[in-house]
Amino acid sequence: MNVKNNVLKVLSGEESDITPVISVTQVAVVEAMEKTNAFWPEAHTNAEKMATLGSSLYELAGLESARIPFCLTVEAEAMGCKVNLGGEDRTPQIAETPFRNASDIEVPDDFLSRGRIPVVLEAVEILKEKYGDTLPIVVGITGPFTLAGHLLGVENLVRYMKIRPSEIETAIDNSLDACMDYAEAISEVGPDIICVAEPTAAPELIDPLQFKSIVKPRLEDLANVIKTKKVLHICGSTQPIIRDMASIGYDGISIEEKVDIKTAKQDLGKGGKVIRVGGKTMNMGGETSSKIVGNISTTQTLFRSSPEEVKAEVKQALEDGIDILAPSCGLAPRSPITNIKAMVEARNEFFGI
């Protein structure tokens, strides 16, 4: 089986003999760093190390994708924020932002040559040269709403949405310009999938009506400039917005374990015909034809549980009709490789291979 073709077939809405098992979110774990000698924080700034670590779970556990980078601070840094790159088991965080007001946000003329953007683009090219015909290459980017939150502070963003809504929409639009420039640059170097992460748009943080009126139109604009397959990831209990997520124009929507797969499939089935093929529920089209990606728990199952417990959760997700198996969010850096192997083994056992 060519794992790249299999993933792309599913995202294209074609029937597949086996459900892919990939990650569209953060994949670096400390055990893999030790085995490949590609450690954080160096792998955030060195393209060779980034590519090595981003493909490490394919090499060590059979995960059917490579995925880079390992955080959501690349764009904010290029916009002018100071970033603490963290350590071996700590992801980068925004340390300081120069933006005090929404009106301050502007995309620098040299945005695409700043910070780690050139490193990410080079790492894609390295991965393409090594795996281009066999392994799907996934690049994660930050959504415009989340980027605006990084630039202004999430608390300020949510508060200003209530008291200065027009000003905030301008800030999000300016952030969108940066996201679109970055997405176009990534598309040009030719990965297979771009995953747009919008964790700040979770229903726990903003009202679903605000998602529909403010976030959704910008995500549609961003989808229109992405020339690869594209997946939208939003954290949390996204059931209230799942039909909106699926109708934006992304080939897949990535969900956490808080979302019930069967209910989500039923909701999305209202926009297209759903049939049962080879033990899998397949959405055959319609306005909500996005494939569901996820939702094996990263905070509990893949991080803390036994391989047997991982396998049980994976097989239940397959029974429920998940389209593409994946961690529910970014892997915790101390997650054991044996649990990632267990994901792949459980999928194989389910399909009898």
pLDDT tens digit string along 115-132? 999 999 999 999 999 999
Cα–Cα distance, 165 to 346 (Å, whole number): 47
Q: What percent of the chain has pLDDT over 90?
A: 85
166: pLDDT confidence band, cut at 50, 70 and 90? confident
Mean pLDDT highest for which of 49-63, 151-165, 281-295? 49-63
Please say whether the beta carbons of 350 and 315 come within 8 A.
Answer: yes
Range of the domain at 159: 3-351
Q: What is the pLDDT of residue 87?
A: 96
Count the neighbouring beta carbons within 10 Å of the beta carbon of residue 268: 25
Q: Could you tell me the CATH number of the domain that includes residue 334?
A: 3.20.20.210
Angle made by CA atoms 45, 230, 22, in degrees to the nearest 5: 70
Q: What are the respective helix, strand and coil percentages of the chain, to the nearest 5?
A: 50, 15, 35
pLDDT tens digit string along 232-259? 999 999 999 999 999 999 999 999 999 9
Q: What is the pLDDT of residue 70?
A: 98
Q: What is the pLDDT of residue 279?
A: 46
Q: What is the pLDDT of residue 288?
A: 47
**Which of residues 100 and 201 earns the better pLDDT score?**
201
pLDDT tens digit string along 14-58? 988 899 999 999 999 999 999 999 999 999 999 999 999 999 999
Distant-in-sequence, close-in-space partners of 127: CB < 8 Å, separation ≥ 6: 51, 54, 55, 66, 68, 135, 137, 191
Cα–Cα distance, 214 to 162 (Å, whole number): 12
User: Does the pLDDT at position 183 exceed 60?
Assistant: yes
Q: What is the pTM of this model?
A: 0.93
**Which of residues 162 and 209 earns the better pLDDT score?**
209
Please compute the mean of the pLDDT values over residues 203-229 and round it to a whole number. 96
For the chain, the domain total comes to 1
